[in-house]
Amino acid sequence: MKLYLCRHGQAVSQAATDALRPLTEAGQAALLSHWQSLQGRGVQLSGLIVSPYLRAQQTADCIAQVYSGLSRQECPYLTPDSHPQALFDWLLANPPVSNTVLVSHMPLVSQLTAKWTGVPERVGFNVGTVACFDVDVTAANGAQLLWLCSPGEELASR
């Protein structure tokens, strides 16, 4: 199954709580442009699974502006301090459809990439970066990283 992992867009640095940090206008614009570019290169989506944090919800809103008709679900295990195994367990209980985007945060996106691919070093995710995986959600080390693309970069397969 193909799954996408997206780090939220650029957010303001200060808010009442970390969970309430909104995206900046520049962050929203960069996300819209990035996802329009990915769509233009043939990336197809069917659903969103999103962290409850405001900046992730706003990132999902930007994606949904580009891809209409996406299913959307909130997941409490996509927060920055979540443990990858908690998310794996949640995904087993709530199986995603292929071409779903998981919208989350650092360091979780890097930890998930390491766990799924079995590569111990962590992959860096700039804000708005998207990784595409061919994944078996039932298995740790059950994924192949197909590509990784940050806003402003060209999409290139690995």
Residue of 113 and 154 predicted with greater confidence: 113
Q: Quick check: 138 pLDDT over 70?
A: no
Indicate the fold that domain 2-149 takes in CATH.
Answer: Rossmann fold (3.40.50)
Instruction: Kindly state the average pLDDT of the residues 87-104.
Output: 94
Rounded alpha-carbon distances, angstroms, from residue 43 to 75, 77, 81, 119: 23, 25, 29, 25
pLDDT value of position 57: 99
- pTM (2 d.p.): 0.94
- Please report where in the chains the tokens 């969970």 appear, as a residue: 19
pLDDT value of position 139: 65
Average pLDDT of the chain is 93
Spatial contact of 47 and 64, defined as CB atoms under 8 Å apart: no
